[in-house]
């Protein structure tokens, strides 16, 4: 069976966790292929809310095995906190049984977080992601599979600690890494996760050859890609489709479906240009922030809000070749008299239909909008009732009223990508999917 890729199509925070949770019901593996605990995926079912940062969103499907892949940078202490929270909710300890860590994944150490604290420009999460990836590129980082060979090598540990301290000193961080503490940390990681550390690329390859369904789960979004995003206001890894298989340890020929997740509007956390941005103090921007509860899952920082940016979405599609779009948070727009879509930019008198390469140029762009009629606000239970009607009566998007459907179809036409599912609330059941499509949860297996 082919692998399926799930990606953020904007600047992250699009609602990937819910989409992955839905697809994992019919999958046997869920694989995170890049990023670290700078990501935040939220899954809601009933009164239970899971906030995940490193564990794949497929955790709620108890038949689904999970992998933290080759392309990740992993904070072992944060992972333990997540596993403890999951154990408190479910009673399960999945590590070493259905949760596995790649030997090739890099370790985020206390040094990386200290170094990251010096950032004053990009607006990172401060969780050590960038410095851990930098160490990987410089070939001085420590991977999970390396620990057993270096933990008793005192010369190696001394030299590594000295390097770390020189780097901390160079950015004005007044802290010091002791080699004995580094050794102690590595021993703990090996003891805590030794049974979970595996050659996971081989495991995934075998599963695919055995006809199993594999989900490749991205973090952040296409516009935060280190190579293709709004550099330098990006994350430290390749977030796009090209890295999905590479970061999992398999070849790209396995992928058949690639779904992009996009909000019905746009948000962004941190610094960087955002052409369709609105004020958080008034009007539609404040409405989106308040109704959409737009605060980062990982950082708690308020997200900047704006109208849906088709120029950015088309750029995202160029990079990823989406076979379908999942449109999330349509419900948040309820109650607005009019809804706008950014269909182009104006930069110094020139009309643009594509994103400029540099952030300085993008910051000069003013949005060109088309305006659509809004639709009335509904309660969460009313949205879920609409979603249930779409499934029970087998009518899919036919459950939407005319104004909602017109907005959805216009997005589909402008982006040139079929919309396969529409999120109308945070709950797992608050989705309206194309009938018989991959996100039709009518016949999903029972999950946690």
Q: Report the 10 Å Cβ neighbour count for 446.
A: 8
Retrieve residue 315's tokens. Answer: 């750029």
Q: Say how far apart CA 238 and CA 218 lie, in whole Å.
A: 10
Q: Are 382 and 418 in contact (CB under 8 A)?
A: no
Cα(199)–Cα(202) distance, integer angstroms: 6
Classify each residue of 2-28 as buried b or exposed e, where b means 16 or more C-beta atoms within 10 Å of its C-beta. ebbbbbbbbbbbbbbbbbbbbbbbbbb
| Mode of pairing for the β-strands spanning 29-32 and 214-217 | parallel
* Three-state SS at 88: helix
CB 345 within 8 A of CB 352: yes
Among 109, 64, 93, 54, smallest CA distance to 195 is for 93
Catalytic residue among 13, 75, 225, 331: 13
165 CB-side CA count, 13 A: 12
Query: Cβ-count burial of 266 within 10 angstroms (0-12 exposed, 13-18 middle, 19+ buried)?
Result: buried
- Whose CA is closest to 377, among 264, 280, 291? 291
CB distance 371 to 338 below 8 Å = yes
Which residues are bridge partners to 432 per DSSP? Answer: 422
Neighbours of 318 (CB within 10 A): 13
Backbone φ, ψ for residue 62 (5° rounding): -65, -15
**13 tagged catalytic:** yes
403 is catalytic: no
Please identify which of the residues 41, 53, 112, 287 carries the catalytic annotation.
Answer: 41
Using alpha carbons only, give the angle 346, 348, 349 rounded to the nearest 5 degrees: 65
CA atoms of 95 and 83, how far apart (whole Å): 8
Positions marked active-site: 13, 41
């Amino acid at each position: 069976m082919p692998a399926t890729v799930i990606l953020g199509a904007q600047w992250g925070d699009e609602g990937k966790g819910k989409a992955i949770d839905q697809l994992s019901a019919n999958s046997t593996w869920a694989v995170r292929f890049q990023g670290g605990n700078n990501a935040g995926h939220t899954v809601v079912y009933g009164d239970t809310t899971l906030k995940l940062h490193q564990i794949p969103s497929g955790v709620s499907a108890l038949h689904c095995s999970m992998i933290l892949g080759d392309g990740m940078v992993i904070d072992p202490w944060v992972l333990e906190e997540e596993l403890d929270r999951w154990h408190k909710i479910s009673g399960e300890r999945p590590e070493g049984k259905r949760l596995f860590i790649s030997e090739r994944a890099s370790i985020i150490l206390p040094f990386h977080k200290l170094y990251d604290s010096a950032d004053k420009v990009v607006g990172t999460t401060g969780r050590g992601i960038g410095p851990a990836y930098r160490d990987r590129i410089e070939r001085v980082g420590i991977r999970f599979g390396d620990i057993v060979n270096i933990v008793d090598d005192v010369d190696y540990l001394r030299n590594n600690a000295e390097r770390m301290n020189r780097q901390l000193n160079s950015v004005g961080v007044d802290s010091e890494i002791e080699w004995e503490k580094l050794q102690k940390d590595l021993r703990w990681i090996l003891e805590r996760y030794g049974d979970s550390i595996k050659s996971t690329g081989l495991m995934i390859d075998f599963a695919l050859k055995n006809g199993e369904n594999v989900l490749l789960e991205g973090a952040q979004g296409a516009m935060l890609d280190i190579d293709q995003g709004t550099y330098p206001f990006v994350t430290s890894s390749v977030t796009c489709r090209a890295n999905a298989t590479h970061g999992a340890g398999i070849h790209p020929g396995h992928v058949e479906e690639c779904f992009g997740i996009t909000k019905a509007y746009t948000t962004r956390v941190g610094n960087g240009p955002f052409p369709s941005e609105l004020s958080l103090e008034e009007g539609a921007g404040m409405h989106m922030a308040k109704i959409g509860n737009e605060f980062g899952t990982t950082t708690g920082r308020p997200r900047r809000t704006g109208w849906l940016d088709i120029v950015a979405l088309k750029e995202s599609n160029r990079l990823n070749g989406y076979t379908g779009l999942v449109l999330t948070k349509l419900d948040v727009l309820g109650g607005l008299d009019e809804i706008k879509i950014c269909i182009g930019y104006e930069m110094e008198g020139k009309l643009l239909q594509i994103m400029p390469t540099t952030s300085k140029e993008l910051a000069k762009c003013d949005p060109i909008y088309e305006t659509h009629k809004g639709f009335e606000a509904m309660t969460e239970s009313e949205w879920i009732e609409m979603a249930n009607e779409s499934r029970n009566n087998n009518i899919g998007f036919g459950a939407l009223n005319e104004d909602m459907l017109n907005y959805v179809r216009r997005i589909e036409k402008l982006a040139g990508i079929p919309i396969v599912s529409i999120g109308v609330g945070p709950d797992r059941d608050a989705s309206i999917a194309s009938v018989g499509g991959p996100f039709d949860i009518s016949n999903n297996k029972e999950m946690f």
